[in-house]
Structure 1
Amino acid sequence: MTPTILVSIWVPRLLRGLLLVVLLAFLLSPESFESLLKPLVQPNAPAIYNQGSLLTITLLHLRTVFLATVAATVIAVLLAILVTRPFGAEFLPLSRSLVNIGQTFPPVAVLALSVPAVGFGEKPTLIALFLYGLLPIFENTLTALTNLPRPVMEAAKGSGMTSIQRLLKVELPLSLPVIVGGIRLSVVIGLATATIGSTVAAKTLGEVIIAGLQSNNLAFVLQGGLIVGALAVLIYDALGAVEAMLARRAGLA
């Protein structure tokens, strides 16, 4: 490899590694960064969020996003499989309408409608993130399943595979890289959107940002925003690496 190619490969990796180290250091020992944040706050105001553990809040934020993404993945993939089968093709318009609900309704509106039904806390946030995350996973899965290599599918049919065997052994493995691409988009959307869950008493990084806005503490706002941003970059890149690895294994890259 030429030096230019090596630099283009390793510099981003080093930067991501550095970002991960800094993020972990801040979450494990935020007091170490107090001197950097002190100029952003008024005299005698705390520079580090002091109404809870940043590490605990971050883990709860990630848990909420994870649960919503898993649920969205299961439903979106099953819907895409259904509408790509001969017996389910007529449900494609209905399925598209369903998965578009999350994109047409603002998350705040979903929270407002969910609270009377399920109460305050994590549940309404999960509903909002679930609805918001359906579309990219569904569309990617649909695209992958409807654009499989015809020679491969004909070979699978010719070998005597049943439709279930073709789905499990050929279609889904070949579609997996594109599906992961949809999950990657859904996770990033969820990481940012989950912050509004704190408006209905969910434990997310949004409470750090809201506390900063209420007390005019720019350091709090910056902490919540930067943690969410760092998580989005790291998880997006990690899932991108998984997507590339699956594509290589499937012979698509």
Structure 2
Amino acid sequence: MRQWVPRLLRGVVAVLLIAFLLSPNSFEPVLAPLAPPNAPAIYNQDSLLWLTVAHLGTVLVATLVATLVAVSMALLVTRPFGAEFLPLSRSIVSIGQTFPPVAVLAIAVPVFGFGEKPTLIALILYGLLPVFENALTALSHPPRAVIEAARGSGMTGWQRLVQVELPLAAPLIAAGVRLSAVIGVATATIGSTVAAKTLGEVIIAGLQTYNYAFILQGGILVAALALLVSTGLMMVERLLWRQRDDRR
């Protein structure tokens, strides 16, 4: 019975999130005590639904690019001809964790201007490391018996990679993608400091006007999105583990 409790909680979060985004004014009585006198309790400078979609869109693009780059680098360094590039690859994917996102934005804005591009660059750099390390681990240590069986059946190196190694590595790669996406959902909020459309806009507006209702709803929306994104990708990860077990 205990295993249903987290599922029930996630279901409640999803229902409340959808209800709030579709009809935010219905929640005004709950948030009104946190707003200054004569100030709105619900953020009204832009559509909360649109900001949420834009926030998720930015995270989706950044996660896809980070995954493509990180997996490509892991593939390169786990091949005999690319092993010497491992230290360089690790240095590249660690850049995002070395520099805070604000510093990346400060460097990117003079080059790319305000808007989505600096935010995407910061999120991509931040999302590389978890995907790369998981892909590197999975591709460096494939089950020897399975690889030998594939080689014995006459598969070429490319066939082994596409039909055996990558499917076996997929669950671990998916775990890295999940972590990268969750980090992206949280980190994307800073994009609003450089005029990107994210839910950080709600939090910043609350900080500027001392409107705790704005701050709370922005923070809760980001937290709920992170939880639901993690849950969705965890389901994909479990499916990939089952498929991996069937292959073995």
TM range (shorter): over 0.9
- Name the SS of the counterpart of 1:8 in structure 2: coil
Number of residues of Structure 1 aligned to a counterpart in Structure 2 = 247
Distance (whole Å) between structure 2 residues aligned to residue 233 and residue 107 of structure 1:
21
Distance (whole Å) between structure 1 residues aligned to residue 36 and residue 88 of structure 2:
54
Q: Which runs of 5+ in 1 are unaligned?
A: 1-6
| CA shift digits 1:113-156 (9 cap, x unpaired) | 00111110000000000000000000000001112111001111
Q: Which amino acid aligns with 1:217?
A: N
Distance (whole Å) between structure 1 residues aligned to residue 55 and residue 239 of structure 2:
27
Q: Structure 1 stretch 145-154 or stretch 205-214: which is displaced more?
A: 145-154
Match among 153, 156, 174 for residue 168 of structure 2: 174
- Name the SS of the counterpart of 2:36 in structure 1: coil
Cross-structure match for 2:22: 28
Matched, 1:113 2:113: no
TM-score (structure 2 length as normaliser) = 0.98
Match among 190, 195, 209 for residue 196 of structure 1: 190
Distance (whole Å) between structure 1 residues aligned to residue 236 and residue 58 of structure 2:
22
Runs of 4+ in structure 1 deviating by more than 6 angstroms, as ranges, are none
Q: Which amino acid aligns with 2:43?
A: Y
Q: Which amino acid aligns with 2:104?
A: V
Q: Which runs of 5+ in 2 are unaligned?
A: none
Cross-structure match for 1:212: 206
Cross-structure match for 2:127: 133
Matched, 1:239 2:243: no
Root-mean-square deviation over aligned CA pairs: 1.0
Cross-structure match for 1:53: 47
Cross-structure match for 1:4: none
Q: Structure 1 stretch 86-95 or stretch 9-18: which is displaced more?
A: 9-18
For residue 9 of structure 1, report the CA deviation from its aligned partner: 2.1
Q: Which amino acid aligns with 1:243?
A: E
Cross-structure match for 1:148: 142
Cross-structure match for 2:76: 82
Distance (whole Å) between structure 1 residues aligned to residue 69 and residue 208 of structure 2:
38
Matched, 1:94 2:78: no
Q: Which amino acid aligns with 1:188?
A: V
Percent identity, please. 68
For residue 28 of structure 1, report the CA deviation from its aligned partner: 0.6
